[in-house]
Each structure stands twice: as C-alpha cells, then as structure tokens.
Amino acid sequence: MFSRICSRLDAKRAIEIWDTSALVPLFVEEATSRAMEDLFAIDEVVAVSVLTLVEATSAIGRRHRQSSDMTESRALLESLSSAWIEVELNADVRRVAIDLLFRHPLKAADALQLATAIVASTSSPASLPFVTLDQTLAEAARAEGFVVQP
C-alpha cells in the first residue's frame, strides 16, 4: 500500500477536501482501503483540517496498539501529511463550525472539519469535492452544497 500511495503524490493537481475518516484507510488496512486508494489515485491535491494529523495519528494508534507494528502506517501518514495542504483554524472556521452545530447533528471535531472545508472553498462548496466515510458528516456536507465522495 505504501509505495502505491507515495508514487501518486507527485502527480496531484486539482484540490479535494478529505476528512480523516477517508484518509485512515490509506494508513491502516480496512474494508474500505482499496476504494479510498482508488479515489486517492485521481489527480487531486488533498486539503485537510489542521486537526487531521492528530485525528489520523489517534486512529492509527488505536488500531495498532494491541495488534501489530505501526511503523509502515506512521511512515505513510508522515509522507502524506507532508504533501497535503493544511487549512488552519481561525475565527472564520470557528464561526462557521458553531453555525453548523446548530444546523446539523455533528460532533465538534466534525463541525470543525466541515467548517474548514467551507472556508477553504471560499463559501462555494460545489467547487471542491468533499471526501468522507462518515455518514453524518457526509449528509451535512451535502446539505451545505458539497459534492461528497465516495
């Protein structure tokens, strides 16, 4: 998995917003890993929330802590995180996240993820694909105007 993903980093061009739930299967073998690898293969630049690295590290740690060595997963996360674009949290993201929490049944971190995407899209959600495996977040993203993948 590591070499296939890393070989695609240099070919990226357009931008997609990826939620942590969609990125984790790239680092840890899951039922959705192949589908996410295929989606990642499309020539896009991955943009993420500043929270994503911490969330992904947490997910890798939880999955590997009791079962196996996490060296490859951590190396892949490090490689991908050096290539993705991080959208910083700021007052605009915080304001949008708070508004989202009143409109959708989101957890705080998911509201911040979606708010980051809205701000990154310069309030034109249809202009950027939003990639997530979280159904509640996907529904909220669609309601906000994003084209959600997969």
Low-confidence ranges of the chain (pLDDT < 50): 1-3, 5-6, 8-10
Residue 89 in contact with residue 116, Cβ under 8 Å? yes
Residue 93 in contact with residue 116, Cβ under 8 Å? yes
Residue 97 in contact with residue 114, Cβ under 8 Å? yes
**Domain ranges, ordered by start, for the chain:** 2-149
pLDDT (0 to 100) of residue 45: 85
pLDDT (0 to 100) of residue 8: 47
CATH of 2-149, one of 3.40.50.1010, 2.10.210.10, 3.40.30.10, 3.40.710.10: 3.40.50.1010
Helix (H, G, I), strand (E, B) or coil at 147: strand
pLDDT (0 to 100) of residue 6: 47
How does pLDDT run across 119-142, given as a tens digit for each residue?
Answer: 999 889 998 899 999 999 999 999
Q: Which helix or strand (DSSP H or E) is residue 49 part of?
A: strand 44-49
Q: Which residues face 131 on adjacent strands?
A: 18, 149
Helix (H, G, I), strand (E, B) or coil at 98: helix
How does pLDDT run across 83-99, given as a tens digit for each residue?
Answer: 899 999 999 999 999 99
